[in-house]
Amino acid sequence: MSIDLKIVTDFRDALSQTMEVSSQDINIQSQGGKVLLYGVVDVLSEKLFAEKIARGVEGVRIVENRLTISMNINVSDAYLKSGVEQKIHDADYTENLLHVGADVKGGTAILVGHVDTLLDAKNAYRLACTERGLKNVVNNICIDSAGKVADVNITSQVVNVLQSNNIYPPGIAINTHGGKVHLQGAVNSCYDVETAEELTMSVKGVIDVINKLSKRE
């Protein structure tokens, strides 16, 4: 089996296990590890998720995402704004997102307001992306703790949160510069790669996470 055929097969297998029926309209081509995604999805979150799956497939070097979002419904920006804000404020962790709002122009939602951590801002973005009819989401949410925690303290807190969740094997390097945390090394599973990033985002003072962790062979 060629590398490109394996990429296509692995992508389809991973997608079918996670997106089920909605994955049927997602197509993929691969040439030399350069992947093209095309087709139609229902919501922006599915477009982003399909790209995330593709980037995680072994052998993929570049992903071009040409998936389009179904616009079978004709809704106003005001309707979309109401829907986005309702999703954000009805979430289980809504107490962390009380000061987040949205403006919608031409089908693009612009998230505004302020939250305590990068993870809160990320969660608001994820919720907004599930609103049917949105073309794009721009995250302009401010992080209240940005610039208020020293880099050395951020690094120490990241180490603590990873250790408390059993994700800190020997060999992981954590470096922080201006609130941007760099993670590098190998962990036990793909789940640990994603969980380490989420946990790092939950630390106050973090404004970005550059995740270069990989699954240990």
Q: How confident is the model at residue 64 (pLDDT cuts 50, 70, 90)?
A: very high
CATH 3.30.1340.30 assigned to 77-143: yes
Class of the CATH-defined domain 3-69 = alpha beta
With helix as H, strand as E and coil as C, how does 193-207 read?
HHHHHHHHHCCCCCC
pLDDT confidence of residue 140: 97
pLDDT tier for residue 14 given thresholds of 50, 70 and 90: confident
CATH fold match for the domains 3-69 and 77-143: yes
Across the range 77-96, mean pLDDT stands at 90
- Tell me the pTM: 0.82
Helix-helix angle 190-201:151-164, to 10 degrees = 140
Q: What is the pLDDT of residues 16-62, one digit of tens each?
A: 887 655 667 899 999 999 999 999 888 899 999 999 899 888 899 99
Average pLDDT, the chain: 90
1 has pLDDT over 90: no
Q: pLDDT band at residue 210, thresholds of 50, 70 and 90?
A: very high
CATH class entry, domain 151-215: alpha beta
pLDDT at 79 over 90: yes
Average pLDDT over every residue of 62-90: 88
DSSP notation for 131-200? STT--EEEE--EETTTTSS-HHHHHHHHHHHHHHTT---TT-EEEEETTEEEEEEEES-HHHHHHHHHHH
- Residue 120 is predicted with a pLDDT of 96
Measuring CA to CA, which residue among 82, 98, 67, 84 is closest to residue 129?
Answer: 84
| Pair of tokens at residue 204 | 């106050």
Annotated domain spans of the chain: 3-69, 77-143, 151-215
CA-wise closest residue to 155 among 209, 194, 212: 209
Q: Tell me the pLDDT tens digit for each residue of 124-166.
A: 999 999 998 898 999 999 999 999 999 999 999 999 999 999 8
